[in-house]
Amino acid sequence: MGWTRIAGRAGALSGSIAVLALLAGGASQAQAAECDRDIAGGGPISLWEVADADGEFEDATLYTFVGSDVERDDAFDDYGEVNIDGSDYQNPDTAGCSFPSKREALYPADELGGLFVRPQLFVDKKKPWGRHYVSLRNPTNAPITVDFEWDGDLGSDSGAANARTSSGDAIVNGADRWATTCEDGDTDGCANVADEADRDPELAHNWEGKGRKKHSADTVVDPEDTSGDFDVEFDDVRVGAGKTIAFMQIVSLTPTIKAANKIAPKIDRNPAKYGVFRALSKKERKRLQNW
């Protein structure tokens, strides 16, 4: 599955409209459907593909130009795989999910570590970001404590490089709330990739908010040191008897590292103003542990 190649921004916009029209006639929230579809968002030059199995973003497309060497159409290799105590979320419907709106995909719950784990993907209509919201429900009458992890493959392999982090350096670790990354094939820094026309989009990653929160990431794997593997782990997460909690991360596609370096701190300073809670209910927001 993939996105039909499009000619420039005007072509991308018309393609986005076509996809939205297709989704409008698709399955309702109550009716499960195949998850392998493209969800348009972020204006005329960013498109997202929802993975067809286990609730990750896959192959997010910044743009492609027909008759050109520019093909920036492969941002991820299953980004944001959910893991509980070492076990990965697996869609119990194999490839089925539902669509609460044109830009959301809601996956069925999988039982992991005694919890019902449910990913939900959302892509903004105008801004180039996607949201991964994961709920953890404890159906028992006793508290359950687990380690929660996102296992994210950026798809940039040995070209993965860091640009900036919330702590002010270019080393991604548990002291940070956000980071920006690029695919730097010639290893001369994210600011010098303009000559690499077919590189992956530059990315901004926000995996927790600033200020007081119930959980901060205990371990963050540096993608530059692990060939694009970008893991974020929250240890000793306690879910009370009969309670539901949630974790959220935001990832943004950008055409330059300069744009990524602007978006990440904007989300960090004022996530509500930037819109990252859009389409979440008050109850869903209250459940968040890391924002």
Q: What is the chain's mean pLDDT, rounded?
A: 86
Q: Please, which pLDDT band fits residue 6 given cuts at 50, 70 and 90?
A: very low
- Cα R_g (the chain), whole angstroms: 18
Residue 44 has phi, psi (to 5 degrees) of: -80, -10
Evaluate whether residue 3 is within a structural domain: no
Evaluate whether residue 291 is within a structural domain: no
Q: Total structural domains in the chain?
A: 1
Tokens of 206: 């926000």
**Winning range, highest mean pLDDT, from 49-53, 75-79, 117-121, 193-197:** 117-121
Counts for the chain of helices (H) and strands (E), in that order: 4, 20
Q: How far is CA 164 from CA 118, 180, 263, in A?
A: 31, 5, 12
Averaged pLDDT for residues 6-29:
33
Q: Is the pLDDT of residue 10 over 60?
A: no
- Give percent of the chain with pLDDT exceeding 90: 68
Evaluate whether residue 1 is within a structural domain: no
pTM: 0.87
Evaluate whether residue 2 is within a structural domain: no
- CA nearest 223: which of 281, 152, 119, 271? 152
- Give percent of the chain with pLDDT exceeding 70: 86
Let me know if 36 is exposed, middle or buried by CB neighbors in 10 A (0-12, 13-18, 19+): middle
Instruction: Specify the CATH number for the domain of residue 221.
Output: 2.70.98
Averaged pLDDT for residues 87-98:
90
Evaluate whether residue 223 is within a structural domain: yes
Evaluate whether residue 259 is within a structural domain: yes
Evaluate whether residue 220 is within a structural domain: yes
Evaluate whether residue 77 is within a structural domain: yes
- CA nearest 108: which of 168, 13, 215, 34? 34
3 state SS of 16: helix
pLDDT at 27: 35
Model confidence pLDDT, tens digit, residues 229-253: 999 999 999 999 999 999 999 999 9
Select the more confidently predicted residue: 62 or 212.
212
3 state SS of 281: coil
Residue range of the domain that includes 31: 8-286
